[in-house]
Amino acid sequence: MNKFTSLGIDNNILKGLSALGFEEPTAVQEQVIPLMLEKQIDLVSLAQTGTGKTAAFGIPLLQRLEPAKRRVQGLVLCPTRELCIQVAKDIDSYAKYVEKIKILAVYGGARIDQQMNSLRKGVQIVVATPGRLKDLLSRKAVDLSSVNYVVFDEADEMLQMGFQDDLTEILAYTPKKKNTLLFSATMPREVALIAKKYMSNPVELTIGTKNSGAENIRHECYMVHVKDRYAALKRIVDNSPNIYSIIFCRTRRETHEVANKLIHDGYNADALHGDLSQAQRDQVMGKFRCKNLQILVATDVAARGLDVNDLTHVINYNLPDETAAYTHRSGRTGRAGRKGISIVILTPREHYRLQQIEKKLQKKFIHCKIPTGIEICNKQLVSLIDEVTNVKVNHSQIAPLYEEIAKKLATLDREELIKRFISLEFNRFLDYYKNAPDLNISDKPQQYGKKEQRGKRDVRRDIHPNQKYTTFSLNVGRRQGIMAQGLIGKINEIPNVGRIKIGKIDILRNSATLEVDSRYTSQILGAFQQSEINGKTVAIEISKTIAARKHRGKRKGSFHKKRRKAKI
């Protein structure tokens, strides 16, 4: 029996759900659908990605429409083109047996004249990205005066991408009397402010624990030195023969470099980052969705809105700057009731950041050892044998060729045939891991705790009185989620320079300054220039000496008594 029938859903929509194979509602669907069908309410629903949120708001939205009216009655706002297309497609599939319902996705990168033409013909539900919708509103091509429901899908991601002002402008075109529904994986302060500002006594539903990760995801971490990060990545991938994964990197450059290394080393991988055109992006995503690609290397910004249900792993090549971003990353695996694994490749100096994530998620990471070459070869061999054992043999097609093949192999006995078969398929792993070193280092936090705690109390570390520092200015600050640890971590990851001494760090609302050993000026400029933090490209420059003095001179009293502590 289809358990959706108990939620009060219309029969025509139930037929559409049955055609899709929907039999049992998820937790978020069980809570949201009856509530929306029974009452006219504002709603805040906190649930991880992949828990069925689209059906949770899409089904009651369809049921409350008036099909005879060819006006926009429902508006769904999404952070990215991919999510916009997917949400519109999903709602349209629920409405397969509902007559006279038109759903339109509007987003940048597609022809606006075609979207305007569809709007003129009349639609009841518009699924939109904020930028394109603003464009249509400015052209007076869309009328939102009849909207009864506004849905913010992935609200936290929209706000991280800087859409808050756009949302405010769009809502000004909608009626005051409407229902607003907010769906989000996490509840940062900005999302709470949206709820307070635009919603009337909203009902809050939390599926699981607020700001926590999904329950069916296993969180693992591997501790290695910075120089061994890529080698560790290769071993993790090789140890999972059937891996289907997204690897997250911090910057476009790093994404490109890691993807190129994997491709050069024979892996079925590609990169997804902001430098790709929309056509290139669509091509990469098309190959990944149909599994012609096994591994996708991406930045957080580029991966927003991706909807792939059966990822086996998410690998954090670097930790994100914000804890909430880790929740989004890990939530891309373990979807639709499946189990998933979220992996962090960690360096010793990043241990405190892992503890912050554990505290936020209310989950402990499993500390794992990088597998040895022998362990990987065994795993690959077992996978290969399983594949051969389970292959379906088409006897009729093989029959004409069998006699000739049998003659060629007649000189080999069973044992020799097995050895040659393994060597043919397996030599790459055997050669590569023949003398592979142990990459593991101790992951006990007490070895690093004192240094990290000292870093929290006083960012000016290991200062020699005659040490010369260069002051750098960055165009990002607290508003972009910058923390002292993130800047220190970025500097510590610069290859082949060892430990760089760091002076004072001052983080303001939209900017930051930091003092670094003058001998490494070029390396610092190279590490930060054109990198991305929370979707914003970083610009870094050397501060003028006078400006730096004036900046320091604003503080009264001695530096040691009056210095401002960098926020952690």
Same domain, 11 and 132: yes
Same domain, 392 and 361: no
Same domain, 189 and 282: no
Please name the amino acid found at residue 444: K
Chosen domain end from 185, 206, 227 = 206
By three-state DSSP, how is residue 203 classified?
strand
Helix (H) or strand (E) segment spanning residue 407? helix 395-408
Helix (H) or strand (E) segment spanning residue 385? helix 373-390
Same domain, 225 and 194: no
In a domain, 441, yes or no: no
Strand order in the sheet with 43-46: 103-106, 125-128, 74-77, 149-153, 179-184, 43-46, 203-206
In a domain, 528, yes or no: yes
CATH number at residue 479: 3.30.70.330
Report the pLDDT value the prediction gives residue 26, as an integer from 0 to 100.
86
Same domain, 37 and 181: yes
What does the pLDDT look like over 398-407, one tens digit per residue? Answer: 888 888 888 8
Chosen domain end from 370, 388, 403 = 370
Helix (H) or strand (E) segment spanning residue 128? strand 125-128
Same domain, 424 and 536: no
Same domain, 276 and 183: no
Same domain, 125 and 225: no
Q: What are phi and psi of 539, to 5 degrees?
A: -115, 130
* Structure-block tokens of residue 530: 């054109």
In a domain, 442, yes or no: no
Ordered mean pLDDT values, 10 residues apiece, the chain (568 residues): 81 91 87 90 81 89 92 92 89 92 91 94 94 94 95 82 84 92 77 79 75 72 92 94 92 89 91 81 86 90 72 92 80 79 90 84 89 86 84 86 87 86 75 83 49 37 59 85 77 74 84 88 83 76 58 43 38
In a domain, 187, yes or no: yes
Same domain, 131 and 279: no
Chosen domain end from 206, 228, 260 = 206
Report the pLDDT value the prediction gives residue 421, as an integer from 0 to 100.
80
Report the pLDDT value the prediction gives residue 448, as an integer from 0 to 100.
39
Residues 201, 42 contacting (CB under 8 angstroms): yes
Please name the amino acid found at residue 293: L
How many structural domains is the chain composed of?
Answer: 4
Its pTM stands at: 0.59
Where on the phi/psi map is residue 565: left (φ > 0), alpha (ψ -120 to 50), or beta? beta
Report the pLDDT value the prediction gives residue 201, as an integer from 0 to 100.
86
Same domain, 349 and 401: no
In a domain, 242, yes or no: yes
* Structure-block tokens of residue 28: 């978020």
Same domain, 303 and 410: no
Residues 49, 213 contacting (CB under 8 angstroms): no
DSSP conformational letter for 423: H
CATH number at residue 23: 3.40.50.300
Same domain, 181 and 304: no
In a domain, 452, yes or no: no
DSSP conformational letter for 106: E
In a domain, 449, yes or no: no
Whole-number Å distance between alpha carbons of 358 and 362:
6
Report the pLDDT value the prediction gives residue 50, as an integer from 0 to 100.
67
In a domain, 446, yes or no: no
Domain of residue 260 covers: 217-370
